[in-house]
Amino acid sequence: MDRQKQRMTLTAAAMLVPLMAACGNEKADGGSGSVGAGKPVTGVRWSVDSVTADGRTHKAPAGAHVTIDKGRAEGSFGCNKFGAQATVDGDRIRLSKTMSTEMACENKPMEFEETLARTLSDREFQARVDGDRLTLTTGQGDTVRLTKAEDAPLSGTKWTVTSPETDGRAHLTFDEKKGTVSGSLGCNKVNAAATVRDGDITLGRPSTTRMMCEDSLMSDEKTLLRLFDGKLKYGVDHQTLTLTSENGTSVRAVAE
């Protein structure tokens, strides 16, 4: 039976399952470390560029990434999420007890996922950092090439709200040149003035459409509306935007 068809379709919150049994003795160092002087590998989100295994190079799809920090490696093979224990010792990185979701994903190269999963699961790598690029090489010569991921820009990015949960219907886009923010609150469209300065966003009074939707959406809209007509603290961490108002309302969104 085709291996891809055997995959269970799970939700985005799918439980992680073991990819391979752990092998070897683990060396507890908390995962902190760097590769060479002044070249940190931990605490950085690395986008996967490609994986070379068995003499073949596979280009990574958008979204494949890994972050190593505090004794853990976490990321995505492109579709499925994974996690593992991570030990960094000089220029050596050891991953063990790798776990992964098992979603069947459309429009994603599953051959790449399977190759990257095999390469990263319960292996030791020699790591080399060159500028914003990281290369992980196994003892068998398989290679994963990665690039330091940049934060998504606040302006011009479509930010889909994830908290409160609106089933992906709520989104905001800031335009610093025009001094505006526009988008959807989940049911109604919204527009407002927006001034960005020194880590703050000052939003004006919102202009919205007046549609009525199901109660859950209207409740989330009320939460989002509390962001407007005031000053917000904002922060961008890779692909995640956090907005916090002076009244304590906090909203999270991800870049599309």
Please tell me the distance from the alpha carbon of residue 36 to that of residue 81, in angstroms, as a whole number: 29
Reduced to 3 states (helix: H, G, I; strand: E, B; else coil), residue 247 is coil
Q: Provide the number of structural domains found in the chain.
A: 2
Checking if the pLDDT of 20 tops 90, the result is no
Are 88 and 29 in contact by the 8 Å Cβ rule? The answer is yes
Nearest alpha-carbon partner for 236 in 154, 134, 138, 136 = 154
Taking 90 as the threshold, does the pLDDT of residue 28 lie above it? no
SS3 165: coil
Whether residues 185 and 67 fall in one domain: no
Domain end, chosen from 124, 148, 172, is at 148
153 part of a folded domain: no
pLDDT tens by residue, 196-226: 998 899 999 999 999 988 887 888 999 999 9
Domain end, chosen from 125, 148, 171, is at 148
pLDDT single digits (tens) 32-55? 444 444 568 998 899 999 999 999
The answer on 215 and 113 residing in a single domain is no
The pair of structure tokens assigned to 225 is 């509306």
Q: Is the pLDDT of residue 248 over 60?
A: yes
Helices (H), the chain: 110-120, 215-225
Tokens of 154: 């606040």
Residue whose C-alpha is closest to residue 187's, from 159, 154, 223:
223
Task: State if pTM tops 0.75.
Answer: no
